[in-house]
Amino acid sequence: MATVNDSIMKEIYIKLCEIGCCKLCALRFLGETQRAAFIEYQKTLIIKGYENETEIENVYKIQKSNPCISCLGLLEKSVVEDSISKVSEAIAREDYDSKTFSAALTLPVSFQLRAHSMSIYLQNNYPDIFKAIFQLGVVTINVKDVWKWIVGPRLEAVISKSFDINSDFIITLSFHYIDDLTEAHTLNDLGYNSRRIRRPRHQKGVDLYSRKGVDNFISSISKEDFSRAFDIPPKIPSESIHCNSVSLQHNPIFFAGRYNKLCRDLPQTPWLIDGERRIENSIQEIICVPLIKLTKAENPKFSASGREDVDVRTLGRGRPFAIELLNPHHTCFSFEQLKKLENEINREGRDKLAVRYMQLVDKNSLEALKEGEEHKKKTYCAYCIVFGPLPSGLDELPSLAPITVSQKTPIRVLHRRPIAVRSRVVHKIKAIPHVSSSESNGPSFFKLYVTTQAGTYIKEFVHGDFGRTTPSLGELLGGVSIDILALDVEDISLDWPPPVSYKEENKNVS
């Protein structure tokens, strides 16, 4: 901040108090930027020479019982105490276990109008000093910052959580000002209605004036035009703002693991047709219900590295999956709790589903679940049937790989997938005879092991889907008609999430 004569600064301080600013806001308008200066503002005022030790009260303020013309009483003791009390009640009621918190304030539109009015007042009356103090032409410290500096430590003590601006647990305090709509209406005289950026919301009242819209509007008009509609400086308010609601929200957390599907009658997600459930349970529900119980989250979002058909098993290491949990209340878990969660899911899954490696993961690590979707490999085992003797070319299949196949969207998924032609690669292929018929028209069976590019339709590769997949297995074997009886996913070549050992005790995951 540029050096300004101390006597001039005191003169401005006195004037700011005369027009109705509180001492904290006066410090903001005098260019103070240090957190400690606001926390111990009375000491700061004495050090800077704005007041002396014998001045118990600010004798310059016109109506000491009235709120500040700038912060509308946001920083005064009674409003602060009431806000802290409401936060404490909300925390006790909703039981979030986060060890940290951040705070957000939703303030009336009048704050924006009054801040702009004060900026114009300072520029009009002290142009050189305003320019020297605020090189960017705006007051450096926002009233929200001052509130967090002085209220943050108080909240820490009351709710037993540490204030952290980057915390995932956000406490939002919404404030109401009785004359907000009246003051906002002054913008209509300047043409705000015709230049509003967004349409008004359906709700009545001050919601007609979006904060973004007001900011853009007042920055687009001249100081002279604004001064015609709004008092410079702002008039002293008759009532303070008050905290009318406190909302608590935790950012999503993410769980990951791998699942084995051990049966042929379990869909990955709830199977509903025309609003009617066709199968009683799903992989998503078996995993998510215990998770919601543990975390007290509002809603789960399940995703996996691909999906198997309802009649296909997933064996081997299992299929990687992740679950996004919205607004969880409980987010700190011991390894023992995670192992207990895994056991509960497996009990619920019985002989149908088993999970492993259940763990909390960072959101950024979820990219591994989706990236390379076109390039990672999957290994399958298909139990196939041929009506007649086994084809003579089974032994030669391995030498044909890699094989590029062209697949039109299968008939069985046309109702939910767009028509397209996709090229996929079969990297490895091998057949092992199982039962060979001695009759010309009798059935023969063999197991087919294939490793393919992710996204390959294996059933259609086997039977051809009426020529929509070429070449099909039957074509590769000389035009033989082949069908598939059962299919298993044996491996998904994605090493994510990492294996977890639950042997460590008393170690929290958060």
Give the active site residues.
309
Distance between CA atoms of 209 and 177, rounded to whole angstroms? 14
Residue 297 near residue 250, CB atoms below 8 Å: no
Strands 253-261, 313-326: pairing is antiparallel
H or E, element range at 272? strand 272-273
Q: Which residues pair with 333 in a beta bridge?
A: 509
Which residue type does 314 have?
T
Question: Tokens for 405?
Answer: 């196949």
- Beta strands, E only, 100-160: 100-106
Question: Tokens for 96?
Answer: 């979030």
Distance between CA atoms of 389 and 11, rounded to whole angstroms? 105
Distance between CA atoms of 134 and 67, rounded to whole angstroms? 26
Distance between CA atoms of 168 and 389, rounded to whole angstroms? 64
Residue 205 near residue 181, CB atoms below 8 Å: yes
How far, in Å, are 89, 390, 396, 509, 510 from residue 328 at the CA level?
Answer: 19, 56, 55, 14, 12
Distance between CA atoms of 241 and 83, rounded to whole angstroms? 11
Distance between CA atoms of 133 and 139, rounded to whole angstroms? 9
Distance between CA atoms of 291 and 254, rounded to whole angstroms? 11
Residue ranges of alpha helices (H) inside 317-366 are: 335-349
Residue 425 near residue 403, CB atoms below 8 Å: yes
Of 165, 153, 156, 155, the C-alpha closest to 102 is: 165
H or E, element range at 457? none
How far, in Å, are 93, 379, 459, 485 from residue 383 at the CA level?
Answer: 56, 14, 10, 6
How far, in Å, are 59, 200, 362 from residue 197 at the CA level?
Answer: 44, 9, 37
Distance between CA atoms of 151 and 28, rounded to whole angstroms? 16
101 phi, psi to nearest 5 deg: -155, 155
